[in-house]
């Protein structure tokens, strides 16, 4: 009996060892690709900035402190400064607005595609994904071409005699919203479509049959059924929007900075890599907290769906 137990134990040990060996490639890649770089950013955020960028290997919490405070040049005292905070707030606000706008435009689009005959749907989906084939920068410049002072919109409006002076759209939040909504729309449409495609449209008929008008069917039947898609789409849009860099840079100009631009600034002209690292990690923290809140608010009710 004892020997049988021993044999079993040995087999178990061997199995555990094999399991580790087999998962080693995956673990190494996960470490090198995700954890490793992140670790470097964490370490950099606790170092001292070098005179020409880069870092000096000397421990300092200044990077983190500078996220919300400013050190006086003369007497070296720390004082609260809202410059960064206001950019954080602005980024969150604009990203939220982008999410709402993509949802408003994406919902009817996805519904339209989902209600086409099966063969037509593929064509529409294909059209939705076409913008992905073009570089983001080029797409953003294309938007600029449309809305700048000498751009298509202004030229046409002036030619038609509707306006005499071009409307200033570039370098405004409006331009930013146009650009961000355009760029992130497919990321909203695709998960929405994936949810809508699964809807049993007899449920919509059942809604109509039970005296719900079009708006009530939308609110009480379709939206609850598409909820997973709305959540997935919102996450897919909100998170990259929060760290957006190219679009605010091209369309928003230097005054309308977002978080991505602020971080870039620290690694470029600002020559403050530790602050840049700290800002990046703060952004990550915000995203994680937002995600956690989201998952919890949905998860609680989602579980009961069975």
Tell me which residues touch another protein (CB under 8 A).
200, 202-203, 205-213, 216, 220-221, 224-225, 304-306
Task: State which residue, 114 or 258, has the beta carbon closest to another protein.
Answer: 114
Task: State which residue, 17 or 116, has the beta carbon closest to another protein.
Answer: 116
Task: State which residue, 300 or 306, has the beta carbon closest to another protein.
Answer: 306
- Measured from the CB of residue 30, what is the shortest distance to another protein in angstroms? 36
Interatomic CA distance for residues 213 and 207, integer angstroms: 8
- Measured from the CB of residue 210, what is the shortest distance to another protein in angstroms? 4
- Measured from the CB of residue 113, what is the shortest distance to another protein in angstroms? 22
- b (16+ CB within 10 A) / e for 209-245: eeebeeeebbeebbeebbebbbbbbbbbbbbbbbbbb
- Measured from the CB of residue 295, what is the shortest distance to another protein in angstroms? 18
- Measured from the CB of residue 201, what is the shortest distance to another protein in angstroms? 9
Interatomic CA distance for residues 180 and 162, integer angstroms: 27
Task: State which residue, 162 or 304, has the beta carbon closest to another protein.
Answer: 304
- Measured from the CB of residue 238, what is the shortest distance to another protein in angstroms? 24
Task: State which residue, 229 or 248, has the beta carbon closest to another protein.
Answer: 229
Task: State which residue, 229 or 274, has the beta carbon closest to another protein.
Answer: 229
Contact yes or no for 172/111 (Cβ under 8 A):
no
- Measured from the CB of residue 123, what is the shortest distance to another protein in angstroms? 21
78-80 vs 69-71, strand pairing mode: antiparallel
Task: State which residue, 52 or 215, has the beta carbon closest to another protein.
Answer: 215
């Amino acid at each position: 009996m004892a020997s049988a137990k021993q044999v079993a134990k040995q087999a178990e040990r061997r199995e555990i060892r094999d399991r580790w060996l087999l998962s080693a490639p995956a673990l190494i890649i996960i470490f090198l690709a995700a954890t490793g770089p992140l670790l470097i950013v964490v370490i950099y955020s606790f170092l001292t900035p070098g005179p020409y960028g880069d870092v000096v290997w000397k421990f300092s919490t200044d990077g983190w402190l500078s996220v919300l405070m400013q050190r006086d040049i003369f007497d070296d005292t720390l004082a609260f400064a809202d410059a960064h905070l206001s950019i954080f707030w602005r980024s969150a606000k604009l990203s939220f607005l982008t999410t709402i706008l993509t949802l408003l435009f994406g919902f009817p689009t996805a519904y339209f595609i989902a209600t086409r005959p099966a063969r037509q749907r593929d064509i529409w989906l294909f059209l939705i994904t076409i913008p992905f084939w073009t570089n983001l920068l080029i797409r953003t410049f294309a938007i600029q071409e449309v809305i700048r002072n000498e751009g298509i919109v202004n030229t046409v409006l002036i030619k038609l005699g509707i306006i005499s002076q071009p409307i200033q759209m570039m370098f405004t939040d409006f331009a930013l919203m146009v650009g961000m909504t355009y760029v992130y729309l497919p990321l909203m449409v695709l998960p929405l479509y994936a949810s809508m495609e699964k809807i049993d449209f007899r449920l919509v008929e059942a809604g109509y049959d039970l005296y719900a008008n079009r708006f009530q069917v939308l609110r009480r039947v379709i939206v609850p059924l598409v909820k997973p898609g709305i959540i997935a789409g919102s996450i897919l849009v909100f998170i990259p929007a929060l760290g957006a860099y190219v679009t605010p840079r091209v369309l928003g100009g230097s005054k309308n900075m977002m978080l991505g631009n602020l971080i870039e600034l620290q690694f470029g002209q600002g020559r403050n890599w530790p602050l840049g690292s700290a800002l990046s990690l703060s952004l990550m923290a915000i995203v994680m907290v937002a995600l956690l809140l989201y998952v919890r608010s949905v998860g609680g009710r989602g579980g009961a769906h069975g």
